[in-house]
Amino acid sequence: MIDLTQFKQQRLAAEPYRWALVDRLFSPADAKALVETFPRDHFKTVKGYDGEKGYEYESRSLVHMGADKPTQARALSDAWRRLAEALLSLAYREALSQFTGVDLSTLTLEANAFHYGRSAWLGPHVDLEDKIVTHVLYFNESWNESDGGCLTILGSGDMADVVKTIPPVIGNSAVLVRSTNSWHAVTRVVDTCRISRRSVAITFYRPGSPSTMWPAGDNTPLHNYTDSAVAKQMRDLWRRVTR
CB atoms within 10 A of CB 192: 9
Residue 51 — pLDDT band, cuts 50, 70, 90?
low
Confidence check: pLDDT of 161 > 90: yes
Measure Cα distances from 235 to 37, 148, 199, 232, 242 in Å: 23, 26, 27, 5, 11
Task: Say if residues 183 and 157 touch (Cβ distance below 8 Å).
Answer: yes
Confidence label for 193 from pLDDT (cuts 50, 70 and 90): very high
Report the run of H or E that residue 37 belongs to, with start and end.
none
3-state secondary structure of 176: strand
pLDDT class for 208, splitting at 50, 70, 90?
very high
| SS3 assignment, position 213 | coil
C-alpha 145/C-alpha 167 separation (Å) is: 6
Question: Residues 19, 182: contact at Cβ < 8 Å?
Answer: yes
Per-residue DSSP letter, 234: H
Residue 48 confidence class, pLDDT cut points 50, 70, 90: confident
**Cα distance between residue 36 and residue 73, in whole Å:** 17
* Cα 174 from Cα 180, distance rounded (Å): 18
Indicate the residue type of 73.
A
72-117 pLDDT, tens digit per residue, is 999 999 999 999 999 999 999 999 999 999 999 999 999 999 999 9
Domains and CATH numbers, the chain: 6-241 (2.60.120.620)
pTM over 0.75: yes
For residues 42-66, average pLDDT: 88
CB 57 within 8 A of CB 115: yes
